[in-house]
Chains A and B, each alone.
Chain A
Amino acid sequence: MDDLYRELILEHYKHPRRRGRLEHPDISAEEHNPLCGDRVRIDLRIENGIITDARFDGRGCAISQASASMLTDEIVGMPVEQAKQFSKEQLLDLIGIPLSHNPVRIKCALLPLKTLKAGLYGVGHAPDDDEV
Protein backbone atom coordinates (compact mmCIF):
# COMPACT_ATOMS: atom_id res chain seq x y z
CA MET A 1 0.00 0.00 0.00
CA ASP A 2 2.83 2.34 0.80
CA ASP A 3 3.90 1.71 -2.80
CA LEU A 4 0.44 2.45 -4.15
CA TYR A 5 -0.30 5.56 -2.14
CA ARG A 6 3.02 7.33 -2.37
CA GLU A 7 3.20 10.94 -1.30
CA LEU A 8 3.09 12.09 -4.93
CA ILE A 9 -0.18 10.27 -5.65
CA LEU A 10 -1.87 11.57 -2.52
CA GLU A 11 -0.52 15.07 -3.21
CA HIS A 12 -1.98 15.13 -6.74
CA TYR A 13 -5.24 13.57 -5.50
CA LYS A 14 -5.72 16.12 -2.74
CA HIS A 15 -4.42 19.07 -4.77
CA PRO A 16 -4.94 18.30 -8.44
CA ARG A 17 -3.00 20.60 -10.77
CA ARG A 18 -5.32 21.05 -13.69
CA ARG A 19 -8.80 20.18 -12.50
CA GLY A 20 -11.55 22.08 -14.31
CA ARG A 21 -12.89 22.80 -17.78
CA LEU A 22 -11.61 24.90 -20.67
CA GLU A 23 -13.91 27.38 -22.37
CA HIS A 24 -14.38 26.35 -26.01
CA PRO A 25 -11.78 23.56 -25.97
CA ASP A 26 -10.45 22.38 -29.34
CA ILE A 27 -10.76 18.81 -28.17
CA SER A 28 -12.84 17.35 -25.39
CA ALA A 29 -13.17 13.68 -24.58
CA GLU A 30 -14.69 11.63 -21.79
CA GLU A 31 -14.16 7.99 -20.90
CA HIS A 32 -15.58 5.72 -18.23
CA ASN A 33 -14.40 2.64 -16.49
CA PRO A 34 -17.61 0.60 -16.25
CA LEU A 35 -16.08 -1.74 -13.68
CA CYS A 36 -15.77 0.89 -11.00
CA GLY A 37 -17.63 3.94 -12.26
CA ASP A 38 -14.49 6.07 -12.63
CA ARG A 39 -14.96 8.92 -15.11
CA VAL A 40 -12.40 11.26 -16.66
CA ARG A 41 -12.93 14.15 -19.07
CA ILE A 42 -10.01 15.95 -20.68
CA ASP A 43 -10.25 19.32 -22.46
CA LEU A 44 -7.39 20.42 -24.73
CA ARG A 45 -6.40 23.69 -26.37
CA ILE A 46 -4.34 23.15 -29.54
CA GLU A 47 -2.39 25.86 -31.34
CA ASN A 48 -0.16 25.14 -34.35
CA GLY A 49 -0.07 21.44 -33.57
CA ILE A 50 0.99 22.01 -29.96
CA ILE A 51 -1.10 21.30 -26.85
CA THR A 52 -1.08 24.70 -25.16
CA ASP A 53 -3.52 24.04 -22.36
CA ALA A 54 -5.24 21.05 -20.74
CA ARG A 55 -7.79 20.52 -17.99
CA PHE A 56 -9.34 17.39 -16.56
CA ASP A 57 -12.53 16.74 -14.72
CA GLY A 58 -14.18 13.63 -13.35
CA ARG A 59 -14.51 11.43 -10.35
CA GLY A 60 -12.82 8.29 -9.28
CA CYS A 61 -10.18 6.79 -7.07
CA ALA A 62 -6.92 8.45 -6.05
CA ILE A 63 -5.03 6.52 -8.72
CA SER A 64 -7.22 7.63 -11.65
CA GLN A 65 -7.49 11.23 -10.52
CA ALA A 66 -3.80 11.64 -9.67
CA SER A 67 -2.93 10.03 -12.98
CA ALA A 68 -5.16 12.55 -14.79
CA SER A 69 -3.56 15.41 -12.89
CA MET A 70 -0.02 14.30 -13.75
CA LEU A 71 -0.84 13.44 -17.37
CA THR A 72 -2.49 16.78 -18.15
CA ASP A 73 0.44 18.55 -16.51
CA GLU A 74 2.87 16.55 -18.62
CA ILE A 75 1.29 17.08 -22.03
CA VAL A 76 1.02 20.88 -21.97
CA GLY A 77 3.64 22.16 -24.40
CA MET A 78 3.82 18.82 -26.17
CA PRO A 79 3.23 18.48 -29.94
CA VAL A 80 0.02 16.62 -30.72
CA GLU A 81 1.92 13.98 -32.68
CA GLN A 82 4.12 13.29 -29.67
CA ALA A 83 1.14 13.13 -27.34
CA LYS A 84 -0.48 10.58 -29.65
CA GLN A 85 2.54 8.34 -29.12
CA PHE A 86 2.51 8.72 -25.34
CA SER A 87 2.64 5.15 -24.11
CA LYS A 88 1.27 3.17 -21.23
CA GLU A 89 4.80 2.63 -19.97
CA GLN A 90 5.52 6.34 -20.05
CA LEU A 91 2.43 7.03 -18.00
CA LEU A 92 3.23 4.36 -15.41
CA ASP A 93 6.73 5.80 -15.25
CA LEU A 94 5.31 9.25 -14.72
CA ILE A 95 3.05 8.29 -11.82
CA GLY A 96 5.77 6.02 -10.50
CA ILE A 97 3.77 3.23 -8.90
CA PRO A 98 4.19 -0.49 -9.50
CA LEU A 99 0.95 -1.56 -11.15
CA SER A 100 2.08 -4.00 -13.81
CA HIS A 101 0.82 -6.94 -11.72
CA ASN A 102 -2.40 -5.27 -10.68
CA PRO A 103 -4.83 -5.68 -13.59
CA VAL A 104 -7.70 -3.94 -11.83
CA ARG A 105 -5.92 -0.83 -10.61
CA ILE A 106 -3.92 -0.44 -13.82
CA LYS A 107 -7.21 0.31 -15.58
CA CYS A 108 -7.73 3.17 -13.11
CA ALA A 109 -4.27 4.55 -13.84
CA LEU A 110 -4.69 4.26 -17.60
CA LEU A 111 -8.17 5.77 -17.86
CA PRO A 112 -6.83 9.34 -18.37
CA LEU A 113 -4.50 8.12 -21.13
CA LYS A 114 -7.38 6.29 -22.79
CA THR A 115 -9.36 9.55 -22.60
CA LEU A 116 -6.48 11.57 -24.08
CA LYS A 117 -6.07 9.11 -26.97
CA ALA A 118 -9.82 9.07 -27.63
CA GLY A 119 -9.67 12.86 -27.89
CA LEU A 120 -6.60 13.01 -30.11
CA TYR A 121 -7.57 10.17 -32.43
CA GLY A 122 -11.34 10.38 -32.14
CA VAL A 123 -13.39 7.94 -30.05
CA GLY A 124 -12.89 4.35 -31.13
CA HIS A 125 -9.97 5.18 -33.41
CA ALA A 126 -7.14 5.10 -30.91
CA PRO A 127 -4.68 2.26 -31.41
CA ASP A 128 -4.84 -0.52 -28.83
CA ASP A 129 -8.20 0.72 -27.71
CA ASP A 130 -8.53 -2.18 -25.30
CA GLU A 131 -5.20 -1.64 -23.69
CA VAL A 132 -5.01 2.10 -23.38
Chain B
Amino acid sequence: MTASASLSLFDIVALRREFPILNQSVNGKTLAFLDSAASSQKPRRVIDCLEDYYRRYNANVHRGIYRLSEEATFAFERARGKVARFINARSQREIVFVRNTTEAINLVARSWGDANLREGDRILLSIMEHHSNLVPWQMLAQRTGAKLEFLPIDGEGRLALDNLDAQLEGVRLVAITQQSNVLGTINPVAEIARRAHAVGALVLVDGAQSVPHMPVDVQALDIDFLAFSGHKMCGPTGIGVLWGRRAILDQMPPFLGGGSMIKVVGLHESTYADVPARFEAGTPAIAEAIALGEAVDFLQEVGMDRIYAHERELLGYALERLRDVDGLRVYGPTTTEMRGGAVSFTLDGVHPHDVAAVLDSEGIAVRAGHHCAQPLHAHYNIPATTRASFYLYNIPEEVDRLVAALHKVRTLFG
Protein backbone atom coordinates (compact mmCIF):
# COMPACT_ATOMS: atom_id res chain seq x y z
CA MET B 1 0.00 0.00 0.00
CA THR B 2 1.21 3.54 -0.63
CA ALA B 3 0.49 6.84 1.01
CA SER B 4 -2.07 7.64 -1.64
CA ALA B 5 -3.88 4.38 -1.03
CA SER B 6 -7.58 4.45 -1.57
CA LEU B 7 -9.45 6.25 1.14
CA SER B 8 -12.52 6.76 -0.92
CA LEU B 9 -14.83 5.74 1.90
CA PHE B 10 -15.69 9.37 2.35
CA ASP B 11 -14.43 12.70 1.10
CA ILE B 12 -11.61 13.07 3.58
CA VAL B 13 -10.69 16.59 2.47
CA ALA B 14 -14.22 17.84 3.03
CA LEU B 15 -14.47 15.92 6.28
CA ARG B 16 -11.24 17.41 7.63
CA ARG B 17 -12.60 20.89 6.88
CA GLU B 18 -15.38 20.16 9.37
CA PHE B 19 -12.74 20.20 12.14
CA PRO B 20 -11.50 23.78 12.50
CA ILE B 21 -8.67 22.84 14.86
CA LEU B 22 -6.94 20.71 12.22
CA ASN B 23 -6.33 23.77 10.08
CA GLN B 24 -3.38 25.16 12.02
CA SER B 25 0.37 24.98 12.30
CA VAL B 26 2.28 23.72 15.32
CA ASN B 27 5.96 24.55 15.48
CA GLY B 28 5.75 25.71 11.90
CA LYS B 29 4.28 22.42 10.65
CA THR B 30 0.71 21.45 9.85
CA LEU B 31 -0.82 19.82 12.89
CA ALA B 32 -0.98 16.03 12.66
CA PHE B 33 -3.27 15.05 15.52
CA LEU B 34 -2.59 11.42 16.43
CA ASP B 35 -3.95 11.41 19.98
CA SER B 36 -7.67 10.83 19.54
CA ALA B 37 -7.62 7.86 21.92
CA ALA B 38 -7.00 10.44 24.66
CA SER B 39 -9.55 12.93 23.36
CA SER B 40 -10.95 13.51 19.90
CA GLN B 41 -11.29 16.77 18.05
CA LYS B 42 -14.71 18.36 17.53
CA PRO B 43 -16.51 19.16 14.30
CA ARG B 44 -17.77 22.69 13.78
CA ARG B 45 -21.42 21.66 14.23
CA VAL B 46 -20.71 20.33 17.75
CA ILE B 47 -18.93 23.56 18.69
CA ASP B 48 -21.80 25.57 17.18
CA CYS B 49 -24.31 23.46 19.08
CA LEU B 50 -22.72 24.41 22.42
CA GLU B 51 -22.74 28.06 21.51
CA ASP B 52 -26.30 27.93 20.22
CA TYR B 53 -27.52 26.61 23.57
CA TYR B 54 -25.81 29.35 25.56
CA ARG B 55 -26.79 32.11 23.14
CA ARG B 56 -30.37 31.10 22.48
CA TYR B 57 -32.01 28.83 25.07
CA ASN B 58 -29.81 28.46 28.16
CA ALA B 59 -32.07 27.47 31.08
CA ASN B 60 -32.19 24.67 33.62
CA VAL B 61 -33.89 21.47 32.57
CA HIS B 62 -36.87 19.64 34.11
CA ARG B 63 -37.87 22.68 36.17
CA GLY B 64 -39.08 25.92 34.67
CA ILE B 65 -42.58 26.39 33.30
CA TYR B 66 -41.39 28.75 30.66
CA ARG B 67 -40.35 28.62 27.05
CA LEU B 68 -36.55 28.51 27.42
CA SER B 69 -36.58 25.78 30.02
CA GLU B 70 -39.00 23.74 27.95
CA GLU B 71 -36.76 24.09 24.91
CA ALA B 72 -33.65 23.11 26.90
CA THR B 73 -35.45 20.11 28.42
CA PHE B 74 -36.69 19.01 25.01
CA ALA B 75 -33.18 19.22 23.50
CA PHE B 76 -31.61 17.47 26.48
CA GLU B 77 -34.06 14.56 26.38
CA ARG B 78 -33.87 14.37 22.60
CA ALA B 79 -30.10 13.90 22.97
CA ARG B 80 -30.78 11.01 25.33
CA GLY B 81 -32.91 9.43 22.64
CA LYS B 82 -30.19 9.91 20.02
CA VAL B 83 -27.63 8.21 22.26
CA ALA B 84 -30.07 5.36 22.95
CA ARG B 85 -30.58 4.71 19.24
CA PHE B 86 -26.84 5.03 18.57
CA ILE B 87 -26.08 1.98 20.75
CA ASN B 88 -29.43 0.27 20.08
CA ALA B 89 -30.69 0.52 23.65
CA ARG B 90 -34.22 -0.83 24.18
CA SER B 91 -35.34 2.44 25.70
CA GLN B 92 -33.92 5.90 26.28
CA ARG B 93 -34.67 5.38 29.97
CA GLU B 94 -31.64 3.10 29.96
CA ILE B 95 -29.34 6.05 29.20
CA VAL B 96 -27.88 7.74 32.30
CA PHE B 97 -25.91 10.92 31.64
CA VAL B 98 -22.73 11.11 33.72
CA ARG B 99 -19.47 13.03 33.37
CA ASN B 100 -17.41 10.35 31.66
CA THR B 101 -16.58 6.64 31.50
CA THR B 102 -14.87 6.83 34.88
CA GLU B 103 -17.97 8.17 36.60
CA ALA B 104 -20.19 5.61 34.86
CA ILE B 105 -18.07 2.75 36.20
CA ASN B 106 -17.87 4.29 39.67
CA LEU B 107 -21.67 4.59 39.64
CA VAL B 108 -22.06 0.87 39.02
CA ALA B 109 -19.39 -0.03 41.59
CA ARG B 110 -20.95 2.18 44.27
CA SER B 111 -24.59 1.48 43.56
CA TRP B 112 -24.87 -2.07 42.21
CA GLY B 113 -21.60 -3.22 43.80
CA ASP B 114 -22.26 -2.06 47.37
CA ALA B 115 -25.80 -3.42 47.28
CA ASN B 116 -24.99 -6.81 45.81
CA LEU B 117 -21.45 -7.95 46.59
CA ARG B 118 -20.44 -9.82 49.73
CA GLU B 119 -17.20 -11.14 51.10
CA GLY B 120 -15.82 -13.88 48.89
CA ASP B 121 -17.74 -12.81 45.76
CA ARG B 122 -15.50 -12.37 42.75
CA ILE B 123 -15.11 -9.73 40.07
CA LEU B 124 -13.37 -10.73 36.85
CA LEU B 125 -11.29 -8.08 35.04
CA SER B 126 -8.34 -8.31 32.64
CA ILE B 127 -4.78 -7.09 32.96
CA MET B 128 -5.29 -4.71 30.03
CA GLU B 129 -7.87 -2.55 31.82
CA HIS B 130 -7.56 1.22 32.00
CA HIS B 131 -7.25 2.45 35.60
CA SER B 132 -10.88 3.64 35.36
CA ASN B 133 -12.02 0.04 35.01
CA LEU B 134 -9.69 -1.21 37.73
CA VAL B 135 -9.44 1.22 40.66
CA PRO B 136 -13.23 1.48 41.28
CA TRP B 137 -13.31 -2.34 41.60
CA GLN B 138 -10.30 -2.32 43.92
CA MET B 139 -12.15 0.18 46.11
CA LEU B 140 -15.32 -1.94 45.98
CA ALA B 141 -13.31 -5.03 46.92
CA GLN B 142 -11.88 -3.17 49.91
CA ARG B 143 -15.36 -2.12 51.04
CA THR B 144 -17.04 -5.50 50.60
CA GLY B 145 -14.32 -8.14 50.87
CA ALA B 146 -14.92 -9.22 47.28
CA LYS B 147 -11.95 -10.61 45.34
CA LEU B 148 -10.55 -9.48 42.00
CA GLU B 149 -9.54 -11.97 39.32
CA PHE B 150 -7.74 -11.15 36.11
CA LEU B 151 -7.88 -12.57 32.62
CA PRO B 152 -4.34 -12.84 31.22
CA ILE B 153 -3.21 -11.88 27.72
CA ASP B 154 -1.24 -13.85 25.15
CA GLY B 155 1.89 -12.89 23.20
CA GLU B 156 -0.19 -10.98 20.63
CA GLY B 157 -1.82 -8.88 23.33
CA ARG B 158 -5.15 -10.69 23.06
CA LEU B 159 -7.17 -12.00 25.98
CA ALA B 160 -6.32 -15.59 26.80
CA LEU B 161 -9.73 -17.20 27.32
CA ASP B 162 -8.62 -20.84 27.63
CA ASN B 163 -9.48 -20.88 31.33
CA LEU B 164 -12.41 -18.49 31.16
CA ASP B 165 -14.99 -20.97 32.42
CA ALA B 166 -12.78 -21.94 35.38
CA GLN B 167 -12.03 -18.27 36.09
CA LEU B 168 -15.77 -17.49 36.04
CA GLU B 169 -16.44 -19.67 39.06
CA GLY B 170 -17.98 -17.58 41.83
CA VAL B 171 -17.85 -14.44 39.67
CA ARG B 172 -20.72 -11.96 40.10
CA LEU B 173 -19.48 -9.36 37.66
CA VAL B 174 -17.20 -9.30 34.63
CA ALA B 175 -15.87 -5.79 33.84
CA ILE B 176 -13.92 -5.71 30.61
CA THR B 177 -12.81 -3.23 27.99
CA GLN B 178 -14.12 -3.70 24.48
CA GLN B 179 -10.98 -2.15 23.01
CA SER B 180 -7.65 -1.67 24.78
CA ASN B 181 -6.50 1.95 24.84
CA VAL B 182 -2.87 0.75 24.69
CA LEU B 183 -2.82 -2.42 22.59
CA GLY B 184 -5.77 -1.65 20.36
CA THR B 185 -7.00 -5.20 20.93
CA ILE B 186 -10.74 -5.61 20.35
CA ASN B 187 -12.08 -8.14 22.83
CA PRO B 188 -14.83 -10.68 22.04
CA VAL B 189 -17.27 -9.24 24.57
CA ALA B 190 -20.31 -11.05 23.15
CA GLU B 191 -18.66 -14.41 23.72
CA ILE B 192 -17.48 -13.39 27.20
CA ALA B 193 -20.99 -12.16 28.02
CA ARG B 194 -22.56 -15.43 26.87
CA ARG B 195 -20.27 -17.48 29.07
CA ALA B 196 -20.53 -15.07 32.01
CA HIS B 197 -24.33 -15.13 31.88
CA ALA B 198 -24.22 -18.92 31.94
CA VAL B 199 -22.89 -18.70 35.49
CA GLY B 200 -25.20 -15.86 36.45
CA ALA B 201 -22.60 -13.07 36.34
CA LEU B 202 -23.36 -9.59 34.99
CA VAL B 203 -21.15 -7.98 32.34
CA LEU B 204 -19.99 -4.37 32.27
CA VAL B 205 -18.20 -3.20 29.14
CA ASP B 206 -15.81 -0.24 29.10
CA GLY B 207 -16.66 1.26 25.73
CA ALA B 208 -14.48 4.36 25.97
CA GLN B 209 -12.32 3.22 23.05
CA SER B 210 -14.88 1.21 21.10
CA VAL B 211 -18.07 3.28 20.96
CA PRO B 212 -16.32 6.19 19.13
CA HIS B 213 -14.70 3.90 16.56
CA MET B 214 -17.05 1.08 15.58
CA PRO B 215 -20.72 0.11 15.60
CA VAL B 216 -21.70 -1.00 19.11
CA ASP B 217 -25.08 -2.66 19.66
CA VAL B 218 -25.84 -3.44 23.30
CA GLN B 219 -28.61 -5.89 22.39
CA ALA B 220 -26.45 -7.82 19.93
CA LEU B 221 -23.62 -7.97 22.47
CA ASP B 222 -26.16 -9.00 25.13
CA ILE B 223 -24.27 -7.19 27.91
CA ASP B 224 -25.60 -5.52 31.07
CA PHE B 225 -23.74 -2.20 31.36
CA LEU B 226 -21.85 -0.05 28.87
CA ALA B 227 -19.78 3.00 29.84
CA PHE B 228 -18.39 5.60 27.44
CA SER B 229 -17.26 9.24 27.19
CA GLY B 230 -18.51 12.01 24.92
CA HIS B 231 -15.18 13.73 24.40
CA LYS B 232 -13.60 10.73 22.67
CA MET B 233 -16.40 10.62 20.07
CA CYS B 234 -16.39 14.18 18.71
CA GLY B 235 -18.47 15.45 21.63
CA PRO B 236 -17.59 17.80 24.50
CA THR B 237 -15.77 16.98 27.73
CA GLY B 238 -17.84 16.65 30.90
CA ILE B 239 -20.50 14.36 29.42
CA GLY B 240 -20.48 10.59 29.37
CA VAL B 241 -22.95 7.77 29.35
CA LEU B 242 -23.84 4.79 31.46
CA TRP B 243 -26.16 2.44 29.64
CA GLY B 244 -27.68 -0.27 31.81
CA ARG B 245 -30.25 -2.98 31.28
CA ARG B 246 -33.52 -1.48 32.54
CA ALA B 247 -34.40 -4.34 34.89
CA ILE B 248 -31.02 -4.01 36.62
CA LEU B 249 -31.01 -0.19 36.79
CA ASP B 250 -34.53 -0.32 38.31
CA GLN B 251 -33.21 -2.36 41.24
CA MET B 252 -30.16 -0.19 41.91
CA PRO B 253 -30.06 2.32 44.79
CA PRO B 254 -29.07 5.96 44.10
CA PHE B 255 -25.42 6.91 43.69
CA LEU B 256 -25.40 10.66 44.47
CA GLY B 257 -28.20 12.29 46.42
CA GLY B 258 -29.67 15.73 45.74
CA GLY B 259 -32.04 17.54 43.44
CA SER B 260 -33.71 15.83 40.48
CA MET B 261 -33.20 12.30 41.76
CA ILE B 262 -36.12 12.32 44.22
CA LYS B 263 -39.87 11.75 44.28
CA VAL B 264 -40.83 13.03 47.72
CA VAL B 265 -38.42 14.51 50.27
CA GLY B 266 -39.10 14.62 53.99
CA LEU B 267 -36.84 15.86 56.73
CA HIS B 268 -35.67 12.37 57.61
CA GLU B 269 -36.18 10.34 54.49
CA SER B 270 -36.97 10.55 50.84
CA THR B 271 -38.23 8.41 48.01
CA TYR B 272 -36.30 8.29 44.80
CA ALA B 273 -37.14 8.99 41.20
CA ASP B 274 -37.34 6.34 38.52
CA VAL B 275 -34.35 5.74 36.25
CA PRO B 276 -32.56 7.51 34.72
CA ALA B 277 -33.37 10.56 36.91
CA ARG B 278 -32.50 8.53 40.03
CA PHE B 279 -28.87 8.59 38.94
CA GLU B 280 -28.73 12.19 37.73
CA ALA B 281 -28.61 14.28 40.90
CA GLY B 282 -28.10 18.00 40.44
CA THR B 283 -28.09 20.14 37.33
CA PRO B 284 -26.61 18.03 34.54
CA ALA B 285 -24.16 19.08 31.83
CA ILE B 286 -27.00 20.35 29.65
CA ALA B 287 -25.11 21.97 26.78
CA GLU B 288 -22.67 19.07 26.68
CA ALA B 289 -25.42 16.45 26.56
CA ILE B 290 -27.17 18.27 23.71
CA ALA B 291 -23.84 18.61 21.87
CA LEU B 292 -23.15 14.91 22.40
CA GLY B 293 -26.43 14.27 20.61
CA GLU B 294 -25.13 16.44 17.77
CA ALA B 295 -21.86 14.46 17.72
CA VAL B 296 -23.84 11.22 17.50
CA ASP B 297 -25.80 12.61 14.52
CA PHE B 298 -22.51 13.55 12.87
CA LEU B 299 -20.95 10.12 13.43
CA GLN B 300 -24.04 8.36 12.13
CA GLU B 301 -24.14 10.51 9.03
CA VAL B 302 -20.54 9.56 8.27
CA GLY B 303 -21.36 5.98 9.22
CA MET B 304 -19.77 3.93 12.00
CA ASP B 305 -18.99 1.08 9.58
CA ARG B 306 -17.11 3.47 7.34
CA ILE B 307 -15.26 5.07 10.27
CA TYR B 308 -14.15 1.61 11.37
CA ALA B 309 -13.06 0.68 7.85
CA HIS B 310 -11.19 3.97 7.40
CA GLU B 311 -9.27 3.53 10.65
CA ARG B 312 -8.54 -0.07 9.82
CA GLU B 313 -6.97 0.98 6.54
CA LEU B 314 -4.84 3.60 8.28
CA LEU B 315 -3.87 1.08 10.95
CA GLY B 316 -2.77 -1.47 8.37
CA TYR B 317 -0.67 1.15 6.64
CA ALA B 318 0.88 2.30 9.94
CA LEU B 319 1.71 -1.24 11.09
CA GLU B 320 3.42 -1.86 7.76
CA ARG B 321 5.40 1.40 7.68
CA LEU B 322 6.47 1.16 11.33
CA ARG B 323 8.21 -2.14 10.58
CA ASP B 324 10.79 -0.11 8.67
CA VAL B 325 11.92 1.80 11.75
CA ASP B 326 14.93 0.12 13.39
CA GLY B 327 14.55 -0.70 17.06
CA LEU B 328 10.83 -0.01 17.10
CA ARG B 329 8.50 -2.47 18.81
CA VAL B 330 4.73 -2.27 18.50
CA TYR B 331 2.69 -3.71 21.37
CA GLY B 332 -0.55 -5.52 20.69
CA PRO B 333 -1.81 -7.48 17.69
CA THR B 334 0.40 -7.32 14.60
CA THR B 335 -2.51 -7.47 12.15
CA THR B 336 -5.67 -5.38 11.76
CA GLU B 337 -7.85 -8.37 12.69
CA MET B 338 -9.98 -7.47 15.76
CA ARG B 339 -7.70 -4.49 16.35
CA GLY B 340 -8.44 -0.78 16.62
CA GLY B 341 -6.29 2.18 15.67
CA ALA B 342 -4.29 2.76 18.86
CA VAL B 343 -0.65 1.93 18.16
CA SER B 344 1.66 1.94 21.19
CA PHE B 345 5.36 1.39 20.67
CA THR B 346 8.82 1.71 22.17
CA LEU B 347 12.01 2.76 20.40
CA ASP B 348 15.23 1.18 21.66
CA GLY B 349 17.31 3.54 23.75
CA VAL B 350 14.92 6.46 23.60
CA HIS B 351 12.41 7.29 26.32
CA PRO B 352 8.82 7.75 25.07
CA HIS B 353 8.81 11.34 26.37
CA ASP B 354 11.77 12.15 24.19
CA VAL B 355 10.11 10.49 21.22
CA ALA B 356 6.95 12.54 21.81
CA ALA B 357 8.93 15.78 22.23
CA VAL B 358 10.73 15.31 18.92
CA LEU B 359 7.44 14.41 17.20
CA ASP B 360 5.90 17.57 18.68
CA SER B 361 8.65 19.63 17.10
CA GLU B 362 7.42 18.18 13.78
CA GLY B 363 3.83 19.19 14.56
CA ILE B 364 2.80 15.62 15.38
CA ALA B 365 0.72 15.16 18.54
CA VAL B 366 1.05 11.75 20.20
CA ARG B 367 0.75 10.55 23.77
CA ALA B 368 3.67 9.26 25.83
CA GLY B 369 3.37 7.60 29.21
CA HIS B 370 1.57 4.65 30.74
CA HIS B 371 -1.82 5.71 29.32
CA CYS B 372 -3.52 4.96 32.66
CA ALA B 373 -2.65 1.28 32.28
CA GLN B 374 0.26 0.74 34.66
CA PRO B 375 -0.40 -2.99 35.28
CA LEU B 376 -0.30 -3.64 31.52
CA HIS B 377 3.03 -1.81 31.19
CA ALA B 378 4.34 -3.73 34.19
CA HIS B 379 3.33 -6.94 32.37
CA TYR B 380 5.63 -5.92 29.49
CA ASN B 381 8.23 -4.67 31.99
CA ILE B 382 8.35 -1.20 30.46
CA PRO B 383 7.64 2.11 32.22
CA ALA B 384 5.95 3.79 29.30
CA THR B 385 5.15 3.71 25.60
CA THR B 386 4.54 6.25 22.87
CA ARG B 387 1.06 5.96 21.37
CA ALA B 388 -0.24 7.17 18.03
CA SER B 389 -4.00 6.78 17.62
CA PHE B 390 -6.24 7.37 14.65
CA TYR B 391 -9.74 8.67 14.03
CA LEU B 392 -11.96 9.44 11.09
CA TYR B 393 -10.09 12.64 10.19
CA ASN B 394 -6.58 11.14 9.97
CA ILE B 395 -4.87 10.52 6.64
CA PRO B 396 -2.02 8.31 5.35
CA GLU B 397 0.22 11.37 4.90
CA GLU B 398 0.17 11.74 8.69
CA VAL B 399 1.44 8.17 9.03
CA ASP B 400 4.23 9.05 6.58
CA ARG B 401 5.15 12.09 8.66
CA LEU B 402 5.11 9.98 11.83
CA VAL B 403 7.51 7.46 10.29
CA ALA B 404 9.81 10.17 8.93
CA ALA B 405 9.94 11.87 12.33
CA LEU B 406 10.74 8.56 14.03
CA HIS B 407 13.72 8.15 11.69
CA LYS B 408 14.77 11.62 12.81
CA VAL B 409 14.51 10.54 16.47
CA ARG B 410 16.79 7.60 15.70
CA THR B 411 19.36 9.90 14.11
CA LEU B 412 19.27 12.34 17.02
CA PHE B 413 19.61 9.71 19.74
CA GLY B 414 21.57 7.15 17.71
CB distance from A115 to the nearest CB of B (A): 16
Complex interface: chain A residues within 8 A of B368 (CB): 36
Complex interface: chain B residues within 8 A of A5 (CB): 354, 357-358, 412
Contact of A36 among B27, B350, B353 (CB under 8 A): B353
Query: A22 an interface residue at 8 Å Cβ cutoff?
Result: no
A residues 1-22 near B (Cβ < 8 Å) are: 1-2, 4-5, 10, 13-14
B412 touches A39 (CB 8 A): no
Query: Assuming the A-B contacts A10-B412, A37-B383, A60-B351, are A4 and B357 also in contact, with contact meaning beta carbons closer than 8 angstroms in the complex?
Result: yes
Complex interface: chain B residues within 8 A of A60 (CB): 351, 353, 383
Proximity bits, A99-126, B CB within 8 Å = 1, else 0 = 0000001001000000000000000000
A residues 48-73 near B (Cβ < 8 Å) are: 59-63, 65
CB distance from B287 to the nearest CB of A (A): 28
CB distance from A68 to the nearest CB of B (A): 13
In the assembled complex, the Cα of A36 lies from the Cα of B377 at a distance in Å of 12
A59 touches B369 (CB 8 A): no
Most chain B CB inside 10 Å of its own CB: which residue of A5, A35, A65, A105: A5
Complex interface: chain B residues within 8 A of A1 (CB): 27, 357-358, 360-361
In the assembled complex, the Cα of A110 lies from the Cα of B413 at a distance in Å of 22
Query: B171 an interface residue at 8 Å Cβ cutoff?
Result: no
B residues 371-407 near A (Cβ < 8 Å) are: 374, 377, 383-384
What is the interface of chain A mostly: helix, strand, loop, or mixed? mixed
Complex interface: chain B residues within 8 A of A61 (CB): 351-354, 357
CB distance from A63 to the nearest CB of B (A): 7
Contact of B369 among A4, A13, A36 (CB under 8 A): A36
B357 touches A35 (CB 8 A): no
List the B residue with the shortest CB-CB distance to A39.
B383
Complex interface: chain B residues within 8 A of A2 (CB): 361
Query: B370 an interface residue at 8 Å Cβ cutoff?
Result: yes
With an 8 Å Cβ cutoff, the count of chain A residues facing the other chain is 20
Proximity bits, A23-43, B CB within 8 Å = 1, else 0 = 000000000000111110000
In the assembled complex, the Cα of A60 lies from the Cα of B382 at a distance in Å of 11
Complex interface: chain A residues within 8 A of B358 (CB): 1, 5
Complex interface: chain B residues within 8 A of A13 (CB): 413
List the A residue with the shortest CB-CB distance to B355.
A61
In the assembled complex, the Cα of A62 lies from the Cα of B409 at a distance in Å of 12
In the assembled complex, the Cα of A61 lies from the Cα of B358 at a distance in Å of 12
In the assembled complex, the Cα of A59 lies from the Cα of B346 at a distance in Å of 14
B369 touches A62 (CB 8 A): no
Most chain A CB inside 10 Å of its own CB: which residue of B351, B352, B358, B369: B351
B residues 335-357 near A (Cβ < 8 Å) are: 350-354, 357
Query: Assuming the A-B contacts A10-B412, A61-B351, A61-B354, are A38 and B361 also in contact, with contact meaning beta carbons closer than 8 angstroms in the complex?
Result: no
B383 touches A38 (CB 8 A): yes
In the assembled complex, the Cα of A98 lies from the Cα of B361 at a distance in Å of 14
Complex interface: chain A residues within 8 A of B370 (CB): 36-37
Given contacts A35-B369, A36-B383, A62-B354, 20 further A-B contacts (CB under 8 A): A1-B27, A2-B361, A5-B354, A5-B357, A5-B358, A10-B412, A10-B413, A37-B370, A38-B351, A38-B353, A39-B383, A60-B383, A61-B352, A61-B353, A62-B351, A62-B353, A62-B413, A63-B354, A65-B351, A105-B353
Top-10 shortest CB links A-B:
A1-B361, A37-B383, A61-B353, A61-B351, A62-B354, A37-B384, A61-B354, A36-B369, A37-B370, A1-B358
